[in-house]
Structure 1
Amino acid sequence: MAKAFNAGRRGITGFLETAERELLRKLFADIVTMLEPDTPAHEDPLAALIGLDMDVTPPSDPALRRLLPDAVKDDADSALEFRQLTERSLRETKIGALRAASLDLEKEKLVLDPDAAKHWSMALNDVRLVLAERLEIRDEADAERVHQVQDWGDAEDVESYLSLVYNFVSWLQESLVQAMLAQLKSAK
């Protein structure tokens, strides 16, 4: 199978078809919409600067909760306190990576420097997390079920289509990670 990303002397080069770019643009935009906070940044400049959000609550959407999990298990008060201190900045970081990756899709030739590769890996990971939640991937058996859908002609329903998209994004992420590792090896 061909690679979507290859390591080179000038960075990581991506090879994406027009339809693939459009699909990624839409996926990145969907995740940005999910991550945008419901309330504006705090009026207090210091609170806004550090990302403090006392009004935050755990997400009700399981996919969003997968992107913004509780940092402390088995202690709801500590988990909420940590969420209040970190969630807004985490959302902003994720949104920034998704938007940066989306902007890269506008370039005729996709060449990623280390920062852009990091943004891409974050963006692809967030898309995969959301798709995995929507597809109810919990273990290897669930993942195998999703990987059985191999052809766009097999996409008879929403789950089949999402499975194909999940497999495509997984392939992209794998290719990108391999290219990033190759870059690290060549730098040594």
Structure 2
Amino acid sequence: MAKAFNPGRRGITGFLEPAERDLLRKLFDDIITILEPSRPAHEDPLAALIGLDMDVAVPTDPALLRLLPDAVMGDADASLEFRQLTERSLRESKIGALRAATLDLDKDKLVLDAEAAGLWSRALNDVRLVLAQRLEIRDEGDAERVHQVQDWGEADDVESYLSLVYNFVSWLQESLVQAMLAGLKSSS
């Protein structure tokens, strides 16, 4: 069974069972797959170098839209322009955090420095955003419905299983953030 993250002298430590590491590895890989855009064959190398993407469009997958939301509400043109200038780097940043967290899953005991803890927090948050979208969590009532599912043995449908995964990832992220905050308090 996973152990909550705790701050220590060597960094923030945590423990995950092999099955839990495998689950997180699959979740991180799934989010990477969602985030990786298909690139046109005629892509301008200079535009790619500076992060400009004129072929970008508003995502049709609601989960991807949750990861890459419109920046300017109510102004589609301004939002598209902002997306063209920033989406490539945002995708790359998110993918980088997910890959970095995946590499840490090769160890039985996790020991995270401040930078790695930040990457893990971002990776777990992106997983939670996608799961929340798939579970249609829109308000506190929806969240309560999801949090009521507690027993892995009773997960007999996709929604129950996703709810348990969401609850696990939420708990893991909360323990990481609490450890990060405790580490900040002890260093000041």
Q: TM-score, normalised by structure 2?
A: 0.96
Task: Tell me what 1:183 maps to.
Answer: 183
Task: Tell me what 2:145 maps to.
Answer: 145
Whichever residue aligns with residue 144 of structure 2, its letter is E
Amino-acid identity (%) = 83
Query: Which string of whole-angstrom CA distances, capped at 9 and with x for unpartnered residues, describes residues 36-78 of structure 1?
Result: 0111597434322221000000100000000000000000000
How far apart in 2 are the matches of 1:36 and 1:10? 34
Q: Kindly report which structure 2 residues correspond to 1:4-153, keeping only aligned pairs within 5 A, or say none.
A: 4-39=4-39, 43-153=43-153
Report runs of 4+ in structure 1 exceeding 6 Å deviation.
none
Contact 1:41 1:48 (8 Å CA) reproduced:
no
Contact 1:4 1:172 (8 Å CA) reproduced:
yes
How far apart in 2 are the matches of 1:40 and 1:141? 42
Task: Tell me what 1:169 maps to.
Answer: 169
Whichever residue aligns with residue 39 of structure 2, its letter is T
Contact 1:15 1:110 (8 Å CA) reproduced:
yes
How far apart in 1 are the matches of 2:154 and 2:130? 22
Secondary structure (helix, strand or coil) at the match of 2:136 reads: coil
Taking a change above 3 Å as real, the CA distance of residues 140 and 33 of structure 1, as seen in their structure-2 partners, is: same
Query: Which string of whole-angstrom CA distances, capped at 9 and with x for unpartnered residues, describes residues 100-127 of structure 1?
Result: 0000011233100011001100000000
C-alpha displacement of 1:154: 1.9
- Which runs of 5 or more residues in structure 1 are unaligned? none
Whichever residue aligns with residue 111 of structure 2, its letter is V
C-alpha displacement of 1:156: 1.2
The alignment's C-alpha RMSD in Å is: 1.4
- Which runs of 5 or more residues in structure 2 are unaligned? none
How far apart in 2 are the matches of 1:152 and 1:13? 25
How far apart in 1 are the matches of 2:104 and 2:157? 31
